Amino acid sequence: MKVVLDHLTKRFPARSKKDHDVIAVNDFNFEIPDGKLIGLLGPSGCGKSTTLNLISGLEKPTSGKIYFGEEDVTDLPPEERGVGLVFQNYALYPHLTVEQNIIFPLQNLKGEQKMTREAMHSKAMEVARLVQIDQLMERKPKELSGGQQQRVAIARALVKIPRVLLLDEPLSNLDARLRLLTREELRRIQRETGVTTIFVTHDQEEAMSISDQIVVMKDGILQQIGKPQQVYDDPVNLFVAQFLGTPQINVFEGRIQAGKVWIGEEAVLDAEGKQDGDVWAAIRPEGFIPDPQGVLTCSMDRVEVMGRDISIVSTHEKMTGRNIRSIIGAEYMPKDSSGTIRFNLKKNKVHLFDRKSEERIK
């Protein structure tokens, strides 16, 4: 089932007269193709959870439309939309067993959809097997680990075969190791069921690693949609460039002058055909190549060893963050960890943004 958001806007009235209205979601237009896993990504307060609530029907949009396939569901209450929703803290019913939790949505079906007790049981077993909790059916939620609770929540959301599966920060309550495991699981379950799935996260690594597409948001405004690698390689603005990637992209005050990009007094790249002016020059950590004859000179601070790679931490008077991080192969290990170091730059790892609008200069 594809999901289409058409000029979707959600405005929350001001709390007091002094405040302004809050526009949590501002004029969204996008189409989520059928059967894909989509990550909604942005810093906290960017409106991603509101978007999810609008799709589930828990909140009504101020204006705009939502379509599931060809059907306009904008005015349907949540129970008639046929969505499955997994909450950040799972929202399992504490007084019911795992099986009763999974069956709960089925018991609400009415009319022709009504199921016999046996049918519900076998249906519950089926999804339980899918998420691998079929051994735990008689337990109560508080007898389960976080990861197991998570699976129960997913099973409960999947049992009625939702048209769209929505997950709100599904991994944030798990510890680091479990998070890695679970996100693989999530990917597998989504592939096996083929349900269009939208999940919300503030963790860009999580979103990038499993999504077919990511949607980056900021302050209620959609910034960019695309395949993870494509958005990473080709960010439309400084925010997206900074938001994706760890370590963060290194941003320098630079300028374009006479067909060259300058950082300080050094011309670091060709910029033919681009207008002169002040820019932000942003360089991915993997865009640096140490070279004694390099174009960019930085002062070394320290070297951090990470095994396969090393990270050189240095500074430059035109940088904006606290320091510059470059990731390079261990074979480039410098002999000295002080003094100056010079780099050459990989052209496709350097992005230029207008100093004022922060839009990408192509």
Partner 1 sequence: MEMSKKGSRLSKGLIYFLLTVWAVVVLFPFYWMILTSLKDFRVYNTEYIPRFFTANPTLQNYSDAFTSVPLGRYLLNTVIFTAATTGLMMVVIVPAAYAFARLEFKGRNLVFALFLSLMMIPAELVIITNYVTIVNWNMRNTYLGMILPSVTSIFYIYLLKENFEAIPDELYSAAKVDGTSDLKYLLKVMVPISQPTIVTIVILKVIECWNSYVWPRLITYDPNYFLVSNGIQEIRENGFGKENIPAMMAAVVVISIPLIVLFLFFRKKIMAGVSRGGTKG
Beta carbon of residue 305, minimum distance to partner 1 (angstroms, whole number): 44
The encoded tokens of residue 31 equal 């189409």
Q: What is the CA radius of gyration of the chain?
A: 25
Q: For partner 1, which is the closer residue by CB, 94 or 307?
A: 94
Element holding 305 (H helix, E strand) = strand 296-305
Q: How far is the CB of 87 from partner 1 (least distance, A)?
A: 4
* Residues 324, 316 contacting (CB under 8 angstroms): yes
Candidates 4, 22, 23, 58: give the one binding partner 1 (CB under 8 A). Answer: 58
3-state class (DSSP) for residue 243: helix
**Kindly report the CA angle at 19 between 14 and 23, in degrees rounded to 5?**
55
DSSP string, 272-287: TTPPPEEEEEEE-GGG
Rule CB under 8 A: say whether 270 interacts with partner 1. Answer: no
Helix (H) or strand (E) holding 100: helix 98-107
Q: Using DSSP, state whether 56 is helix, strand or coil.
A: helix
Site for partner 1 in 70-129 (CB under 8 A): 77-81, 83-85, 87-89, 91, 93-96, 104-105, 108-109
Residue whose CB is less far from partner 1, 62 or 337: 62
Which of 39/57 has CB closer to partner 1?
57
Q: Which stretch binds partner 1 (CB under 8 A): 54-62, 241-249, 254-262, 301-309?
A: 54-62
Report the sign of the C-alpha dihedral through residues 151, 111, 69, 215, in that order: negative
**Of residues 75 and 184, the one with the C-beta less far from partner 1:** 75
Give counts: helices (H), strands (E), the chain.
8, 20
For partner 1, give the closer residue by CB, 82 or 334.
82
Give min distance, CB of 43 to partner 1, in A: 22
Instruction: For partner 1, give the closer residue by CB, 94 or 292.
Output: 94
Query: Which residues on neighbouring strands pair with residue 220, listed in sequence order?
Result: none
**Which residue's CB is nearer to partner 1, number 101 or number 237?**
101
Task: Give the one residue of 50, 56, 201, 314 binding partner 1; rule: CB under 8 A.
Answer: 56
Question: Of 52-60, 144-152, 169-177, 344-352, which segment contacts partner 1 by CB under 8 A?
Answer: 52-60
* Closer residue to partner 1, CB minimum distance, 83 or 328: 83
The site for partner 1, by CB under 8 A, has a size of 25
For tokens 């309550």, the residue is 173
Site for partner 1 in 151-190 (CB under 8 A): 156, 160
Distance of closest approach, residue 96 Cβ to partner 1, in angstroms: 8
Asked whether 244 and 216 are in contact (CB, 8 A), the reply is: yes
Query: By the 8 A CB rule, do 4 and 66 touch?
Result: yes
What is the 3 state secondary structure string of 132-152? CCCCCCCCCHHHCCHHHHHHH
The residue ranges that bind partner 1 (CB under 8 A) are: 56-58, 77-81, 83-85, 87-89, 91, 93-96, 104-105, 108-109, 156, 160
